[in-house]
Each structure stands twice: as structure tokens, then as C-alpha cells.
Amino acid sequence: MKMNLKKLLGKENVFLDLKSSSKKDIIKEMIDRLVVSGKIKDREAALEAVLTREEKMSTGMENGIAIPHGKTDSVDQLITAVALKKEGVDFDSMDGQVSTIFIMTISPQSRSGPHIQFLAEVSKLLKEPEAREMLLAARTVEEVIRVFS
């Protein structure tokens, strides 16, 4: 069964204009925006979960994509966010390139199914150069969501 990525993305968790310029600050900024949107209630627990995971191994992938993620019981369902920073940020990526597309997930400790499924769907989609180009060219939240649907 395919996961409905579009259902997981809305105005409140797609960010076109990240301001931060370091890995840690990008993660903080995305979490802060999810807190403001009401998606995350315990900022510290979420931040700690993602930063702890990042310390184990960088989530900077290839082709400008970073997938910071973490698990904490301070959320009761999968929380996702998509963010763009067209200038890119050094995220210790596998290919040494800067990251421009950030996909964040935070999920409950006890439930790995939805988290893994979401990452698999997103990875499959973002393997396509056209999908990455469309994301980086997006000017509106709706255009970003369209790439995922």
C-alpha cells in the first residue's frame, strides 16, 4: 500500500525559505516551525531526538537531499516537514555536496512502520532529477506539495 505523501504535507509543514546556514540551525529552525504550527508540543524532546540521531551518522544523503529524523514518545504519530534552502547548507553529505532539500520526520519510539514507509516513498521520488528540479523551482507551498502527489 502506497503512503499518501500529500496527506502528510500542508501549509503548516512546508517551508520554502529556511534562514539558517548550519546543519544544527536548520534542524532547530524546522523544529521551531513545527512547534509554532502545533505539530510538535515538546520542542526539547523533538530537538534532542533529531540531533542525537544526527550525531550517530549524518543524514545528508546525495543530490542535495538531507533527511534529518528522530524518534521520541513526545509525538503520537508521524510528523513530517519539507523545507528548501536554495543556496544550500553543508550537511556532511555522502557525496560532499551541499543540501538544498530537507525532509524531516519525527515519529513515536514504538512505531517504525509509517516512518520507514514515508522515507522509502520520498527517497524513491527524489531519486528522479526532475522531481528535485521541480522542488527547487517551486515558488509556493502548493507547488511543493504537487511534486509529492
Catalytic option among 23, 33, 69, 115:
69
- Look up 69 and say whether it is catalytic: yes
DSSP state of 128: S
Amino acid found at 121: E
Q: Find, among 3, 2, 1, the residue nearest to 78 by Cα.
A: 3
* Helix (H), strand (E) at residue 63: none
Asked whether 66 and 102 are in contact (CB, 8 A), the reply is yes
Residues identified as active-site:
69
